[in-house]
Amino acid sequence: MDTSFDYIVIGGGAAACALAGRLADSGSESIALLEAAWPDDDAPDWGPYLRGAPSDYDGWAEAGCDGWSWDDVLPCFRRAECNTRVMGRDDDPWHGGNGPLHVGDPPAPSPLARYFVESAAHAGHPRNDDFNGPEQEGVGWFQSARHRGEPWSAARAYLHRGVGGNLQVLHGMQAQRIVFEGRRAVGVQALRHGRQIELRARREVVLAAGAIGSPQLLMVSGIGPADHLQEHGIGVVQHLPGVGLNLQQPVGMLLHKRGPTPPSLRQSFGPRWFGAQSTIGMSVGRTFAVAWHWLRHGAGFGGRRSTLAQAEPISAGALLKSQPELPEPDLQLRFVVGPGHARGDGGGHGQSYGCRVLLLRPRSRGRLRLAASDPQRRPLVEAGLLGDAQDVRDLIAGVALVRRILAQPPLAAFGGKALYCGGVRADPGDEAAIDALVRAHAEAAERPAGTCRMGIDALSVVDPQLRVRGVEALRVADASIMPTLAGGDADAPAIMIGERAHDLIRHGPRVRLRALETLLARA
């Protein structure tokens, strides 16, 4: 195995795959992608593909992150996409048709999902045919990363499409710490099969291990709050007090109902044998894709996947405002069909349907700290969910919106028993009961972000070029760099960050550093 490379990328998520694949495609330098887990990129991920609002990225730029406005990042989103609506074309202002990431509409939504869309329209919400288009607000069909009926992960998109021999994907390689010579990152110490290995980077090391892994690796390597590092006996390479702060996660809860349903809609749930989802009403391609996934992973017989229902995409949903005066939707609704459960409700409930409501841009912040200097120890994560009272109020408004939609005639006609919220009125609402409901059942709804924040102030961890402050040849390129959450899903903005990181590494700074940023970099 080679131990010396031009670039070392640490992580196996969406941003890491996009960055490593693009670097391999655009040059002849050697690249190593270190992935702690072993290959399993066929895991079903049917979440919606949502970029967020243009104002999310314009807000980053206004806060000092030059080069990250909507006009800057939209080309990265378009370059990544092979959208079925514009496949083979590059003339659409919002979507790309030639990228590696296949994105498409749901091929065969369940009948109940159609009734959800109708119910939302009955409740007065506008239709939206493209949540990644000019307007985000409305109800309709979510696109997702899919190809020929199967999920299309970033690994499939960027790593399994014939990249050159200059990329090595090293699975089962657990990064332990970054190796420095002076203030320059020159490699990575890693653990594989219980054996310590040191890999050298001639040009740069890029952390893309996510909002938990990246700040932990920085801190065990000596980059972070000096007093905290010293408590754990870690030598300080660079004092950066913002490492591990600014932890953000969308928070949400599921409201759902359990049958009965008329015979005409039983195909939406399927038989209960093995908890399997019926393929009646699916397209032929979808049927074979689900059956192949079930056989391949041993679902229902103790394999790695337990139900076919897990492979059912989230096809219908909405982006809505908790308050009408907001400039952008701050709530995401995901209609779900299949076995239902939520925190605190006692587990699965067989045949059910419902809607998950997510607060996309919570004000609450958490933080991450080391439990020990040992990189094998899990860090201490203080999620801080619902720590801000306004988050509770906004989620309460979201619950009321969901209850009103579920009560509209198209869905209400199918009956069913509310599993844990039947006593809560939908409109005008029982505020005390909904408050208790939210606090009992709300949970983190997406992967975290923000813990290696990009910016130009004293608490920022990376500059707008994604370079870690105060050291050389080290960048961070994953969701941890987000100053604030983009109101999308977990993967779409992360893939964009990987694409953008490639441009910054390959083509260098395209904007001048501000005076304050230059002073901070020298501090």
**Per-residue confidence (pLDDT) for residue 264, from 0 to 100:** 47
- Of the candidate ranges 230-244, 280-294, 322-336, 472-486, the one whose mean pLDDT is the lowest: 280-294
* Confidence band of 301 (pLDDT split at 50, 70, 90): very low
Is pLDDT at 432 greater than 80 in this prediction? no
Mean predicted confidence (pLDDT) in 39-64: 82
Instruction: Indicate whether 433 belongs to any domain.
Output: yes
The fraction of the chain above a pLDDT of 70, given in percent, is 79
The per-residue pLDDT for 453 is 98
Residue 79 reports pLDDT greater than 70: yes
Say what percent of the chain tops pLDDT 90. 67
Q: What pLDDT score does 111 carry?
A: 84
Which carries the bigger pLDDT value, residue 281 or residue 147?
A: 147
Alpha carbons 247 and 56: distance in angstroms, whole number? 17
pLDDT at 360: 96
Answer whether residue 288 is part of any domain: no
Which domain does 428 fall in, by range? 106-140+250-267+308-358+386-440
Q: Which CATH number does the domain housing residue 436 bear?
A: 3.30.410.40
- Read off the pLDDT band of 38 (50, 70, 90): low
pLDDT at residue 29, rounded to an integer: 95
Q: Report the relative pairing of strands 144-147 and 138-141 from DSSP bridges.
A: unpaired
Nearest to 186 by CA among 204, 168, 169: 204
Between residues 516 and 251, the one the model is more confident about: 251
The answer to whether residues 107 and 312 touch, using CB atoms and an 8 Å cutoff, is no
The answer as to whether 462 is a domain residue is no
Q: Is residue 215 part of a domain?
A: no
Q: How far apart are CA 338 and CA 352, in angstroms?
A: 5
In 3-state terms, what secondary structure has residue 274? helix
Stated pTM of the model: 0.87
What's the CA gap between 75 and 94, in Å, rounded?
Answer: 9
CA distance readout (Å), 162 to 170, 226, 231, 496: 17, 44, 47, 21
Is residue 420, in this structure, part of any structural domain at all?
yes
319 assigned to some structural domain: yes
282 lies in some domain: no
Domain count of the fold of the chain: 1
Mean pLDDT within 454-461: 97
Averaged pLDDT of the chain:
84
261 inside domain: yes
Question: Residues for the chain: how many in total?
Answer: 523
- The mean per-residue pLDDT over the stretch 219-237 comes to 98
d(CA 265, CA 112): 7
